[in-house]
Structures are given as structure tokens and as C-alpha cells.
Amino acid sequence: MKRTTATCARQVMSNESSGISDEAVVASAIRISIPMLGSIATVNRGISTPCVVHEIAKQHRAFRPEHRRALENKAFAARTAGD
């Protein structure tokens, strides 16, 4: 993983009826979607926002050296548990 430094980050959420403006979409460096299973067509903004914030925090922690070492140690322990 190559670490980059962001100078500005924004999370843009919209309501279901109007969506995000074309200008916001074009200005975005990264766009994500939340995969959904079954017949669910949309996710409420009150549910989706915490999901996205959690994922941002999780990925941010993975870049920090102390958390990266802990994750690597946990992964190693899981791989060698059957030995």
C-alpha cells in the first residue's frame, strides 16, 4: 500500500430523490457505493453515513504504524493457529 497525504476530504451524501449533483460527481476524485444484497434498492442516509465513516476510519487506522503492526500480528496469528 502506498501512503498518500490528503489535503482535503469530503463525504457527500444525498437524499434518494434528488441524488448528488453532476458537478459534485465530476469534482470527486473517488466515488464509492455500498453493495446491497437481495431486493434492497436503497439504503437510508442515516444508515449509510455511519457505514462509510466507519470504513474511512478503519482504512485510516490501517496506515498508522502501530495499527498496521497489530493487524499484521493478528493476521500472522490467524495463519499459524493450526500449526
Task: Indicate whether 6 pLDDT > 70.
Answer: no
CB distance 53 to 9 below 8 Å: no
pLDDT category at 3 given cuts 50, 70, 90 is: low
pLDDT tens profile 31-76: 777 777 888 777 788 888 888 888 888 877 777 777 677 778 888 8
φ/ψ bin of 16: left (φ > 0), alpha (ψ from -120 to 50), beta (otherwise): alpha
Answer whether 0.75 is exceeded by the pTM: no
Cβ 49 vs Cβ 19: under 8 Å? no
Q: What is the C-alpha separation between 73 and 5, in angstroms, rounded?
A: 25
Q: pLDDT band at 83, cuts 50/70/90?
A: low
